[in-house]
Structure 1
Amino acid sequence: MELTLANVMGLVRQTFADPRGAAQVVLRLPMPLQARWAAVALMAVLSAVLMHLMSGLMPPAVGPDGQVLPAISPFFWAGMVGFGMVMTALLAFVVGRWRGGRGELADSVILVAWLQFIQLLIVVVQLVVLVALPVLAPIVEVGAVLIFLWLLVNFVAEMHGFRSLGMVFLGIVLTFVLAVFGMTILLMLIGVAP
């Protein structure tokens, strides 16, 4: 598939209409692993820019003492999004293979990068709603989380050749809970208060 605007927009439409079919198209992209990791880095940077723009439209955060909190740096956003994407790709690969899946790390990386691209498009919609109809912003935010989960479940299932979306969903939820628990324990061990 050539990466023309028309092809990308067609793939975006297919992602919402037929996520597993779209995952097949993404998996067939002739990109080496380094290029796939570069796509992850690019999505992290673009996400940071959009999050920074979005935070600029919100009222400033205020601490418990009434002081305005400093704005979060775009570099921090990029690091957080990048870390989240890398962890998602690694966990989707490792846990899926542990459960008998056939996916490769390169598959997981490109699917996570594509999923983040879709999330970026949804953030653009959120920005428009935030400006035009702020009362609907929470509904769009909940919808964005549900879309993310639906696409992640389908992408992981397609990558590993799993048939049961319900079992994949359960596996993702359990993996997320265990990962958060493990990170919390690790942070406590190194002296970072929760």
Structure 2
Amino acid sequence: MLQTLLQMIGNTMQSPQKGLQDALRVAPARSELWWLLALVAVVNVIMSEIASRIVLTHNTDVEMMFTIPALYMAAGVFAGLVVTAICTHFVGRAFGGTGDFDASLGAVIWLQFVLMPLQLAQLIVLIVSPGLGVLIGFAGGLFGVWLYVNFLAVVHGFTSLGLIFAGLLVSVFGILFSLSLVLSIVAVLFGVEIRNA
């Protein structure tokens, strides 16, 4: 099972569109997709917490900007991924896409799985060289955008790069706006203090 998963991740890195098509072909039902989304949210928070502690170990002058408990962070990441799936679906449909919500949700989940090896590599490098680790994180972010563009093409049947890029921009603005609302609600409900750096 693990070997098959790693092979699919490797194939997706080499050929994103075919990799996503293979992943969606074996994707579970929507009820199980929600559990997978929760899983990748938790893993993301764990990796972020480890990375933050490593950075703080090397630089004691750095302060954490967000004093948010891990549970709230996981909820926030989960909400962010849900918003990303919703934007992927509805914005894509608005631009003439033909994909359904399950495909959008599956694409968002698979994107997180594919990026996990890069996140793990970043954690390892951060221990030795925080600066190089940051560069790997930046490169991983660009790689993630490239993957997402290809995933949009698969989910909605897009062939025009211009149309995909326009959809990506609208999705990003929608995601950022929605996440700002989520963070504000979390801060109000739980009395979380968000300090300026």
1:165 aligns to 2:148 (yes or no): no
Aligned match for 1:112, one of 108, 115, 122 = 108
Tell me, which stretches of 5 or more residues in structure 1 are unaligned? Answer: none
Distance 1:92 1:106 in 2: 11
Shift in alpha-carbon separation, 1:85–1:133, aligned structure 2, 3 A: same
Aligned position for 2:95: 99
Q: What does residue range 33-182 of structure 1 map to in structure 2 within 5 Å?
A: 33-59=30-56, 72-181=68-177
Percent identity over the alignment is 30
**How many aligned positions are there?**
185
Determine the C-alpha separation between the residues in 1 that align with 2:78 and 2:43.
11
- Other-structure match for 2:22: 25
Query: For the residues of structure 1 that align with 2:161 and 2:147, how far apart are their CA atoms?
Result: 11
CA contact 1:61–1:69 (8 Å) conserved in 2: no
Inter-partner Cα distance in structure 2 for 1:57 and 1:181: 30
Q: Which has the higher contact order (CA 8 A, sep 6+)?
A: 2
Structure 2: where are the runs of 5+ without partners? Answer: 189-193
Distance 2:3 2:183 in 1: 45
Verify the 8 A CA contact 2:16 2:150 in the aligned structure 1: yes
After superposing the two structures, state which structure 1 stretch, 131-140 or 11-20, moved more. Answer: 131-140
Is the alpha carbon distance of 1:139 and 1:96 closer, same or farther for their aligned partners in structure 2, counting shifts above 3 Å? same
Partner deviation per Cα, 1:55-98 (whole Å, 9 max, x = no partner): 111215656xxxx8785422132122111110110110111112
Provide the alpha-carbon RMSD of the alignment: 2.8
Instruction: Classify 1:166/1:143 alpha carbon distance in 2 versus 1 (closer, same or farther; 3 Å).
Output: farther
Q: Could you give the per-residue CA deviations for residues 89-125 of structure 1, whole angstroms, max 9, x where no partner exists?
A: 0110111112221111111111111111122222111
Query: Does the 8 Å contact 2:88/2:152 carry over to 1?
Result: yes
TM-aligned CA distance change 1:38 to 1:137, over 3 Å:
same
Contact 2:37–2:109 under 8 Å retained in 1: yes
